[in-house]
Amino acid sequence: MDADGEGSGEGVTGHLGDDVVGGDGSSGGAADGVVGVGLLGCGNVGSALIRLVEDHGDTIETRAGVRLEVVAVAVRDVARDRDVPLPARRFTDDAASVVDHPDVDVVVEVMGGVEPARELVLAALEKGKPVVTANKELLADVGKELFDTAESAGVDLLFEASVAGGIPLIRPLRESLAGDRIRRVMGIVNGTTNYVLTRMADDGSPLADALAAAQELGYAEADPTADVEGYDAAAKAAIIAMIAFGARVVAGDVYREGISGVGAGDIAAAADLGYVVKLLAVAEEVDGAVAVRVHPTMVPVRHPLASVLDSFNALFIEGDAVGELMLTGRGAGGLPTASAVLGDLVDAAKNLVSGGRGATIGPLARKPLRPIDEVESQFYLDMEVADQPGVLARIAERFGDHGVSIRSMQQRGIGAEARLVFITHRAREADLRATLADLRSVEAVHHVGSVMRVLGEEP
Cβ nearer to ligand NAP, comparing 198 with 311 = 311
Q: In this chain, which of 37, 66, 104, 111 binds ligand NAP, going by CB under 6 A?
A: 111
**Which residues, including other chains, have CB under 8 Å from residue 71's CB and lie 6 or more apart?**
3, 21, 36, 37, 38, 90, 101, 103, 104
Q: In this chain, which of 67, 90, 136, 171 binds ligand NAP, going by CB under 6 A?
A: 136
Q: How far is the CB of 350 from ligand NAP (least distance, A)?
A: 23
Q: How far is the CB of 10 from ligand NAP (least distance, A)?
A: 21
**Which residues, including other chains, have CB under 8 Å from residue 361's CB and lie 6 or more apart?**
147, 174, 242, 243, 246
Residue 334 engages ligand NAP in binding (rule: CB under 6 A): yes
What is the distance between the alpha carbons of residues 348 and 159, in angstroms, rounded to a whole number? Answer: 11
Residue with the CB atom nearest ligand NAP in the bound state: 43
Residue 112 engages ligand NAP in binding (rule: CB under 6 A): yes
* Window of 134-142, 255-263, 321-329, 363-371 that interacts with ligand NAP by CB under 6 A: 134-142
Asked if residue 330 lies in contact with residue 190, where contact means CB atoms within 8 angstroms, the answer is no
Q: Which of 14, 38, 17, 155 is nearest to 102 (CA)?
A: 38
Q: Which of 392, 434, 433, 439 is nearest to 411 (CA)?
A: 392
Site string for ligand NAP, 25-44 (x = CB under 6 A): ----------------xxxx
Cβ nearer to ligand NAP, comparing 163 with 361 = 163
Q: How far is the CB of 72 from ligand NAP (least distance, A)?
A: 12
What is the distance between the alpha carbons of residues 402 and 355, in angstroms, rounded to a whole number? Answer: 60
* Window of 50-58, 288-296, 330-338, 388-396 that interacts with ligand NAP by CB under 6 A: 330-338
What is the distance between the alpha carbons of residues 189 and 193, in angstroms, rounded to a whole number? Answer: 9
Cβ nearer to ligand NAP, comparing 200 with 338 = 338
Cβ nearer to ligand NAP, comparing 110 with 200 = 110
Site string for ligand NAP, 53-92 (x = CB under 6 A): ---------------------xxxx--x------------
Does residue 116 have a cis peptide bond before it, meaning omega lies within 30 degrees of 0? Answer: yes
Asked if residue 454 lies in contact with residue 298, where contact means CB atoms within 8 angstroms, the answer is yes
Transcribe 25-50 into DSSP letters: ----GGGGTEEEEEEE--SHHHHHHH
Cβ nearer to ligand NAP, comparing 267 with 294 = 294
Number of residues this chain uses to bind ligand NAP (CB under 6 A): 25
Q: How crowded is the C-beta side of 84, counted as CA atoms within 13 Å?
A: 27
What is the distance between the alpha carbons of residues 134 and 140, in angstroms, rounded to a whole number? Answer: 11
Q: How far is the CB of 35 from ligand NAP (least distance, A)?
A: 21
What is the distance between the alpha carbons of residues 141 and 38, in angstroms, rounded to a whole number? Answer: 23
User: Scanning residues 337 to 376, which ones bind ligand NAP (CB under 6 A)?
Assistant: 337
Q: How far is the CB of 103 from ligand NAP (least distance, A)?
A: 19
Cβ nearer to ligand NAP, comparing 313 with 377 = 313
Q: How far is the CB of 98 from ligand NAP (least distance, A)?
A: 9
Residue 104 engages ligand NAP in binding (rule: CB under 6 A): no
Q: How far is the CB of 236 from ligand NAP (least distance, A)?
A: 9
What are the Cα distances from residue 170, in Å, to 177, 334, 360, 403, 412? 10, 19, 11, 39, 45
Of the residues 236, 278, 350, 367, which is catalytic? 236
Which amino acid is it at 287? Answer: D
Cβ nearer to ligand NAP, comparing 244 with 332 = 332
Catalytic annotation on 236?
yes
Site string for ligand NAP, 152-181 (x = CB under 6 A): ---------x---x----------------
**Which residues, including other chains, have CB under 8 Å from residue 425's CB and lie 6 or more apart?**
378, 404, 405, 406, 407, 457
Find residue 185's DSSP bridge partners: 283, 317
Cβ nearer to ligand NAP, comparing 236 with 398 = 236
Asked if residue 180 lies in contact with residue 321, where contact means CB atoms within 8 angstroms, the answer is yes
Residue 204 engages ligand NAP in binding (rule: CB under 6 A): no
Helices marked H in 78-230: 95-100, 117-126, 136-153, 170-171, 191-203, 207-216, 225-228
Residue 443 engages ligand NAP in binding (rule: CB under 6 A): no
Residue 135 engages ligand NAP in binding (rule: CB under 6 A): yes
Cβ nearer to ligand NAP, comparing 79 with 393 = 79
**Which residues, including other chains, have CB under 8 Å from residue 355's CB and lie 6 or more apart?**
none
CA R_g for the chain: 25
Q: How far is the CB of 48 from ligand NAP (least distance, A)?
A: 8
Q: Which residues are catalytic?
A: 236
Binding site for ligand NAP (CB under 6 A): 41-46, 74-77, 80, 95, 110-112, 116, 134-136, 161, 165, 332-334, 337
